[in-house]
Structure 1
Amino acid sequence: MGHKILVVEDDNTLQEMLEYNLARQGYDVITTDNGRTAVELARSQNPSLILLDVMLPGIDGFEVCRILRKELSVPILMLTAKAEEVDKVVGLEMGADDYLTKPFSMRELLARVKAMLRRVKLIREELAIEQTFADGQNKPTTPNVYTYGNLEIDTNRREVRIDKQPIRLKPKEFDLILFLARHQGIALSRDLILERVWGWTYDGNSRTVDVHVRWLREKIEEDPGQAKRILTVRGIGYRFDG
């Protein structure tokens, strides 16, 4: 099932453009031009994301945002024709996740929508992981050191050892194996790995993860072609089995 997006915009031309372009991307789009109706639709339709105009009849976008934020955790992208910084601050203080000032390009809006939905997906994945390890599993086996058979990951020295011999790793390779090891036995998506190891400011794609996993396998696996420590989970990403 695709994501459902609620578009709240009283400019009919812009509303139609948003509906058309979002639908072309495969989203299920619901529209309204009224603040009170927006609140009702958000409650009844459970959208994945809300595009919310500030200037609305009935109640304005700020008030809609304030009401919904008390009840729902749905991400809200506010659309405003006002460029003043105070309006942006008010929107964020009311609980909006992001804002976009009119006029904006449809490409920019679609990119924001995609990024916000991706972030929601990753947050849910992280919460699921936290729940899995809520019982305290996978703590360091000795202070600051993770041990998996003959493999040791020393967080203080930022060093990986096999049979007590240090393995030369690049900084990101160490960050990657540490993140995987801290979630031993969990299938982690490429997007989550990219976000947690490289960060949101990294302008790259998930294939970066594949390249670094290949380099890691060449250094820590007895047979990189038949990996036993870092396993590929088809359609998802990778799992560290130690």
Structure 2
Amino acid sequence: MSAIPVPETVSVLLVEDDATIRRAVQLSLERYGYRVTPAEDGLAGLEAFRAGGHDLLIVDVMLPELDGIGLTRRVREESPVPVLIMSARGDALDVVAGLEAGADDYVVKPVDTGVLVARIRTLLRRATFRPDPAPAPDGAAPAASAGTPDGTLVFGDLSIDTLGLEVRRAGQPVQLTPTELRLLLEFAASPGAVLDRRRLLREVWDYGWEGDTRVVDLCVLRLRKKIGADRIETVRGFGYKLVRG
């Protein structure tokens, strides 16, 4: 698996209209070594994003000019760059809307700096994810993967290149965000097995606590839209499973 980029090499675009919060978050992240570009509204954030060079976006929901939901949707149309939503209320519908728009995770304001940095590191780890090769017996060369010799897993019309990290459906490329790709690979590692939401939070989102399972449900919903609604089955009361055939 690829290493997490060191903070000095990471550029964070922070889109927050409250000047006090924006400055506090910027200073906190800069103390950890991250390079931070601040933007005070959604349109300024979109312009800064399109200028390029950012590894991760932190986006407030309630923004002037273009709100955080609209900004996230615009960004997701153009790039798989990780997006972290900030919301003033953890139970607010705007959190759900942000995840549906394509955000990878969210935090509730005010957010502890340590928690924010941990979430950033997790998103960066997903964005640079490369599966570890399977160990080989007796010193032999590592196997590419289960499935075809080149490491491609096939489930009906869905193929997953576990080495090149490319997904195709009926021969056509499927564009997945890093979080969606990790979620799909988690399912593909245990086809036919039911994976509960706690396991998915732990393995895909790196949550070591009882996190909000809405993030799992909404990411599964987005993934279904891309690979086929019938490819991931809901097992009520338990979780989800990838259909083999």
TM-score by length of 2: 0.53
Bigger radius of gyration among the two: 1
The answer as to whether partners of 2:136 and 2:143 remain within 8 angstroms in 1 is no
Cα 1:147/1:40, change in 2 over 3 Å: closer
**Structure 1 unaligned spans of 5+:** 131-137, 139-145, 154-179, 185-194, 204-242
Distance 2:27 2:93 in 1: 31
Cα 1:152/1:95, change in 2 over 3 Å: same
The question of 1:70 aligning with 2:31 is answered no
Distance 2:23 2:127 in 1: 26
The answer as to whether partners of 2:136 and 2:142 remain within 8 angstroms in 1 is no
From the two aligned structures, give the one with the greater helix fraction.
1
Give the match's secondary structure for 2:14: strand
Give the match's secondary structure for 1:181: coil
Match in the other structure for 1:82: 89
The question of 1:181 aligning with 2:142 is answered yes
Q: 1:16 aligns with which of 11, 23, 33?
A: 23
List per-residue Cα deviations over 1:141-160 (Å, max 9, x = no partner).
xxxxx986xx499xxxxxxx
Q: Which letter maps to 2:9?
A: G
Identity %: 33
The answer as to whether partners of 2:13 and 2:56 remain within 8 angstroms in 1 is yes
The answer as to whether partners of 2:15 and 2:45 remain within 8 angstroms in 1 is yes
Distance 1:61 1:6 in 2: 13
Distance 2:58 2:46 in 1: 12
Compare 81-90 and 11-20 and name the one that shifted more.
Answer: 81-90
Q: 2:114 aligns with which of 107, 115, 135?
A: 107
List per-residue Cα deviations over 1:2-53 (Å, max 9, x = no partner).
1100000111111111111111111111001110011111111331000000
How many residues get paired? Answer: 148
Q: Which letter maps to 2:142?
A: A
Distance 2:103 2:67 in 1: 13
Q: 1:98 aligns with which of 88, 105, 125?
A: 105
Distance 1:93 1:147 in 2: 40
Q: Which letter maps to 1:110?
A: V
**Cα offset, 1:85, TM superposition:** 4.6
Distance 1:111 1:24 in 2: 14
Give the match's secondary structure for 1:182: coil
**Cα offset, 1:183, TM superposition:** 4.2
Match in the other structure for 1:54: 61
Cα 1:202/1:77, change in 2 over 3 Å: closer
Q: Which letter maps to 1:20?
A: L
List per-residue Cα deviations over 1:45-90 (Å, max 9, x = no partner).
3310000000111010000001110001110000011333522211
Report runs of 4+ in structure 1 exceeding 4 Å deviation.
195-203
Give the match's secondary structure for 2:49: helix
Match in the other structure for 1:213: none
**Structure 2 unaligned spans of 5+:** 1-7, 146-184, 190-201, 209-245
Distance 2:40 2:98 in 1: 19
Q: Which letter maps to 2:72?
A: C
Distance 2:136 2:31 in 1: 49
